Structure 1
Amino acid sequence: MAGTVQQEMERLLTEAFTPTRLEVVNDSAKHSGHSGDDGSGESHFTVVIEAPAFAEKSRLERQRMVNKALGDIPGERVHALAIQASAPTP
């Protein structure tokens, strides 16, 4: 079952980009006891997102767009966020 941070991330990204593919994967269990593990079970995530909004954007621009859409979640409420953002292929 998805936690509250994961659900919020999914909602924010869906609203911002209307993705054709979206996976928000909670990787926190892999980092249990490591730096940044706050014990919440929601400290490390991977986002795989595909959306037309990313067409003709660089990897860095795509990552900035995702971070902006997530507001205070990256760096404040989530310790680590891996982003794989792409545009749909024609």
Structure 2
Amino acid sequence: MRPEERVAAIEARLRAALAPLELEVQDESHRHRGHAGAADGRGHFAVRLVSEAFRGQRPLARHRLVYAALGSLMETDIHALAIRAFAPGEGEPLD
């Protein structure tokens, strides 16, 4: 899968599962070229999302929801994922 297709797939799965009010997905793979973990072709990504699904959830539970939403992409297309997950009214605004 091409990088832009990976970003679109990540966005689609997160939107379908968590109905985020705000969503930002960044491909940071270029920062990890030559990294041993990047040798298999999977990418490094950062996501920031705001969703009602996170209300009342601790950070670990929020991350588990994101991983569950991404499903098989975690095995086939994503090597590393930085997650910033907030309930409405929490966190920093999008840039």
Q: Give yes or no for TM over 0.5.
A: yes
Say whether residues 1:28 and 2:29 are aligned partners. yes
Deviation at 1:77, TM superposition (A): 2.2
Partner of residue 83, structure 1: 83
Deviation at 1:39, TM superposition (A): 7.1
1:1-90 mapped onto 2 (5 Å cutoff):
3-38=4-39, 40=41, 43-89=43-89
Letter in 2 for 1:60: L
Question: SS in structure 1 opposite 2:36?
Answer: coil
Letter in 2 for 1:57: Q
Question: Which runs of structure 1 show a deviation greater than 6 angstroms over 4 or more consecutive aligned residues?
Answer: none
Letter in 2 for 1:34: H
Paired residues, what number? 88
Normalised by the size of structure 2, how large is the TM-score? 0.84
How big is each residue's C-alpha offset from its partner over 1:9-66, in whole Å with a ceiling of 9 and x where there is no partner? Answer: 00000111111110010000000111221374x5100010110110000000000000
User: Alignment RMSD, CA only?
Assistant: 1.7
Deviation at 1:76, TM superposition (A): 3.6
Question: SS in structure 2 opposite 1:3?
Answer: helix
Normalised by the size of structure 1, how large is the TM-score? 0.88
Deviation at 1:74, TM superposition (A): 1.8
Q: Which runs of 5+ in 2 are unaligned?
A: 91-95
What CA distance in whole angstroms lies between the structure 2 residues aligned with 1:86 and 1:26?
Answer: 20
Letter in 2 for 1:56: G
